[in-house]
Amino acid sequence: MKIVVVGGTGTIGTAVVSLLKTDHDIITVGKTNGDYQIDIEDKASIKNLLKEIGEIDGIISTSGNGNLGSFLSQSDEDIDLAINSKLKGQMNLIRLGIHSVKKNGFIIIT
């Protein structure tokens, strides 16, 4: 299978890539490293990536920014960062990625 792992250069993404790479064609995508680089908050960046790599079997996303801390300690800026990256960014991947994933393919977000 041809699988795109967005966030594939991070801590969790690296483990996912390691598990899948022996049996699948893995395309590693990061913000600054990997086979390709994208900003999941930028729809044009995602569109360009998907156009370049063509049809795929699946997308796995382990990407997104957010500050760690208790809910009560999060500032408005911390919440905005998480919403724009982890929520909106991953929704961008789903909304745009669905057109590149083969029938019976998959999109997994974390």
4 phi/psi in degrees, rounded to 5: -95, 125
- Give the span between the Cα atoms of 47 and 53, in whole angstroms: 10
* DSSP-derived 3-state class of residue 105: strand
Q: Which residues pair with 26 in a beta bridge?
A: 3
DSSP 73: G
pTM: 0.90
The packing angle between helices 90-97 and 43-53, to 10°, is 40
From first to last of the 110 residues of the chain, give the pLDDT tens digit: 999 999 999 999 999 999 999 999 999 999 999 999 999 999 999 999 999 999 999 999 999 877 778 878 888 898 888 888 888 999 999 999 999 999 999 999 98
- Give the span between the Cα atoms of 7 and 36, in whole angstroms: 10
- Give the span between the Cα atoms of 99 and 67, in whole angstroms: 31
- Give the span between the Cα atoms of 110 and 13, in whole angstroms: 10
